[in-house]
A = this chain, B = another copy of it.
Amino acid sequence: MNNKRIIIIGGGVIGLGIGWQLAKAGAAVTIHERGQAGRGASWAAGGMLGPIAEAHIDELDLLKLSNQSLERYPEWVDELESETEMTIGYRAEGTLIIGINPDDSYQLKHAYNLYKDLGLNVEWLSGQEARKIEGALSPYVTAAIRCETDHQVDNRLMVQALEHAYLGRGGVLQQNSNVEKIVIENGNVTGIQTQDGFQDADVCILAAGCWSGQINGLPDSMIPPVRPVKGQMLALQMREDNMISNVVRTVKARYPMPVYLVPRKDGRLVIGATTEELGFDTDLIVGGIYELLHGAFEAVPSFYDLPLIETWTGLRPGSSDNAPILGKTPVGNLIYATGHYRNGILLTPITAYEISKLILTGETPETIAPFHLDRFSDE
């Protein structure tokens, strides 16, 4: 491996995670990042590790992958924290999916039955039982599903730790490096073209999130079907007497817009997120802020009195079927690790471990086999 020059396009959690694992194995890795490492979707995310809360009946492959990644999180956190001596804010309090009106209760019950059928670890709670766990919940809460294993991590701390770990293993990070073209000759990538010229590569990994479809040089059939899906977010500062410790999510049955509330260890409360199809627009639209706040107040009324400390938007890398695009492509030495949509933080360990294994061994691990690019041409 030591002789192979590996180029990773994209320095978010996916690119950094793969790069770290490869550098650790002794590979010569260079990440080209268009901006600052980890400041795209990786930075904007909520950090929820919620395969159950994100589960859909028609996305069972994704649910399986998500659960496999969640199972590897404790190992991932241990490895990253011990190697960097940094904390990444992993919290195991779990998640409450709450209903705040009778419509929500029906929808929750339906979801609960599905989760049970799938063998997931969920518990049904009445509104009273939910308020025993989180005393700040609204008196309107009618029912809740408790997902004890849906945890969270502080994604911004994880970005910083990953960068540190990657650099510590000798990985090279080229920031503000604009990859204009992936150069393919005779069915193999020979390198990439950046504003600084041509860079040789023996292996190329495309991990550029929502920008993955924007890079020149790929045959049309290989352009990954990834688009930006905007999300608006807020952060409030909780007080000791006005706090939650579980992740709290609402559902979309009637109104308002569903939201999630993610309490960090330092009292920061992350509220998200809108889902907007507006291309690369990153404006913070007041209607979105209003709906997020409305949703938050319906869940936890006392948050009305908390200070706002940050507003931001991010662009999720949404794929055509909401699942990531992982692994080999028709170009022999070009590997994809993109399109993680709403689950990038959750799927980082499995992606980093399995993609690096693929590159080191040449064999596709079974876990990621269903997520090849060619599933789209099969349709």
Q: Check A293–B303 contact: CB distance below 8 A.
A: no
A285 contacts across to B, CB distance below 8 A: 304-308
A284 contacts across to B, CB distance below 8 A: 307-308
Q: Check A308–B311 contact: CB distance below 8 A.
A: yes
Dominant secondary structure of chain A at its interface with chain B: helix
Q: Check B290–A286 contact: CB distance below 8 A.
A: no
What 0/1 pattern do residues 297 to 313 of A give for CB contact below 8 A with B?
A: 10000011111100100
**A283 proximal to B (CB < 8 A):** yes
A287 to B287, CA, bound (A): 15
What 0/1 pattern do residues 306 to 322 of A give for CB contact below 8 A with B?
A: 11100100000000000
Other-chain contact of A305, B234, B287, B293, B304 (Cβ < 8 Å): B287
Assuming A308-B311, A311-B308, is B290 touching A290 (CB within 8 A)?
yes
Question: Shortest Cβ distance from A302 into chain B, in angstroms?
Answer: 10
Q: Check B290–A297 contact: CB distance below 8 A.
A: yes
A163 to B97, CA, bound (A): 55
A294 to B290, CA, bound (A): 8
Question: Shortest Cβ distance from A234 into chain B, in angstroms?
Answer: 7
Question: Shortest Cβ distance from A312 into chain B, in angstroms?
Answer: 11
Question: Shortest Cβ distance from A275 into chain B, in angstroms?
Answer: 16
Q: Check B306–A286 contact: CB distance below 8 A.
A: yes
What 0/1 pattern do residues 261 to 275 of A give for CB contact below 8 A with B?
A: 000000000000000
**A289 proximal to B (CB < 8 A):** yes
A283 contacts across to B, CB distance below 8 A: 307
A48 contacts across to B, CB distance below 8 A: none
**A236 proximal to B (CB < 8 A):** yes
Q: Which residue of B lies closest to A234 (CB)?
A: B286
A308 contacts across to B, CB distance below 8 A: 284-286, 289, 311
A290 contacts across to B, CB distance below 8 A: 290, 293-294, 297, 304
Question: Shortest Cβ distance from A289 into chain B, in angstroms?
Answer: 6
A307 contacts across to B, CB distance below 8 A: 283-286
A14 to B284, CA, bound (A): 35
A305 contacts across to B, CB distance below 8 A: 285-287
Question: Shortest Cβ distance from A235 into chain B, in angstroms?
Answer: 10
A297 contacts across to B, CB distance below 8 A: 287, 290
Interface residues of A in 177-234 (CB under 8 A from B): 234
Question: Shortest Cβ distance from A61 into chain B, in angstroms?
Answer: 37
A304 to B284, CA, bound (A): 11
Question: Shortest Cβ distance from A264 into chain B, in angstroms?
Answer: 17
A236 contacts across to B, CB distance below 8 A: 286
A289 contacts across to B, CB distance below 8 A: 289, 293, 308
**Extra 9 A-B pairs, beta carbons < 8 Å, given A234-B286, A287-B305, A308-B311:** A284-B308, A285-B304, A285-B306, A285-B307, A286-B305, A286-B306, A286-B307, A289-B293, A311-B311
9 contacts between A and B (CB under 8 A): A234-B286, A283-B307, A285-B306, A286-B293, A286-B303, A286-B305, A287-B305, A290-B294, A290-B297
9 cross-chain pairs, A with B, having the tightest CB-CB distances, nearest first = A287-B304, A283-B307, A290-B293, A284-B308, A286-B308, A286-B293, A285-B307, A284-B307, A287-B305
